[in-house]
Amino acid sequence: MEQVQYHIRCKKDEVNKAVLLPGDIERADYIGTQFFRDSKKIVENREFHIYNGGYENKPVAVCSTGIGCMSAAVAIEELTNIGCKYFIRVGTCGSLSPEINPGDIIIVTGAVRGDGASKEYVPIEYPAVADYRTITALRNRAKKEGVDYSLGIIRTHDAFYMESPFAFGDYKKRVAIWAEAGVLAIENESSTLFVIGSLRKVQVGAILVAVGNLITGKKGTKDDLQKSINKTITIAAGALVDLQEGKEGKI
């Protein structure tokens, strides 16, 4: 794998092994410049912005995935090709639970495969499950930070304008089956990241902030949401440190 990867434009060992995966390019810039020590921008190509840096004296990285499983799959495949092993998606979602309000944090255990990309990899009955060591590492860091969180299954899908507060027609009806099943929230990347993680034997987890609630219609203020996003970045970066030390510990 000495060759330069087609989309992320870097080669073997150029990106640190433990990687945060936000969707948003600007959030990758924010994490790289505000949370990492001695950070260095490595790549800026399409929706992929990559930084290396240090966190608690461990090497870490961040790479934006863009919106959706298509580009997220490209990012994790190419990062895996060049030697990355630990991945945590840090992102936002829409809550499907009346108990999860804007600004609340979710640690994801598995995802409904409502996306198209993961179906090209393996039949639909295969579970999109987060890595159990990564879940535990995230929970331990959340506990250490004194941060409350919900734990459970989310839904990943492709068509934002079918299932969001901005959607056409009766979006509440479309998501009702998942809300009734106890699915906590909706977002756009986790299911494919989890499936590829299982197939390629790399460890993938996700921690999300609810930015709105599809059932109650509640929305968060920009300041409050940013505070929660900062907490998820701190928890996820800490979890990447613990995972590299093999001390994800126990709950």
Partner 1 sequence: MKKMHHLQIEPGQIGEFVIMPGDPGRCHLIAEHFENPQLIAQSREYVTYTGKYKGLTVSVTSTGMGCPSAAIALEELIMSGAKYLVRLGTTGALQKNINLGDIIIATSAVRLEGTSVEYIPIEFPAIADIDVVDALIRATREKNLKSHTGIIMSHDAFYKGSVFADPDFLKREQVWIDSNVLSVENESSALFTIGYLRKVKVGTILTAVANHLTREVITDEGKINPIFHQMTDICLEAFNNINK
Q: How many residues bind partner 1 (CB under 8 A)?
A: 29
- Judged by CB under 8 A, the residue of 37, 56, 127, 161 near partner 1 is 127
- Judged by CB under 8 A, the residue of 13, 182, 221, 247 near partner 1 is 182
105-114 vs 128-129, strand pairing mode: antiparallel
Site membership for partner 1, residue 250 (CB under 8 A):
yes
Site membership for partner 1, residue 153 (CB under 8 A):
yes
- The rounded distance, in Å, linking the Cα atoms of 124 and 115 is 10
- The rounded distance, in Å, linking the Cα atoms of 5 and 3 is 6
SS3 state at 61: strand
Task: Give 170 or 251: the residue with its C-beta nearer to partner 1.
Answer: 251
Task: Give 137 or 229: the residue with its C-beta nearer to partner 1.
Answer: 137
Which stretch of DSSP H or E encloses residue 43?
A: strand 37-45
Q: Which of 102, 50, 84, 100 is nearest to 204 (CA)?
A: 84
Minimum distance between the CB of residue 127 and partner 1, rounded to whole angstroms? 4
- The rounded distance, in Å, linking the Cα atoms of 186 and 179 is 10
Site membership for partner 1, residue 159 (CB under 8 A):
no
Site membership for partner 1, residue 132 (CB under 8 A):
yes
| Interacting residues of 251 by C-beta distance below 8 A, sequence separation 6+ | 136, 139, 140, 143
Minimum distance between the CB of residue 111 and partner 1, rounded to whole angstroms? 6
Site membership for partner 1, residue 112 (CB under 8 A):
yes
Q: Which residues bind partner 1 (CB under 8 A)?
A: 109-114, 122-129, 132, 135-136, 151-153, 177, 181-183, 198-199, 201, 250-251
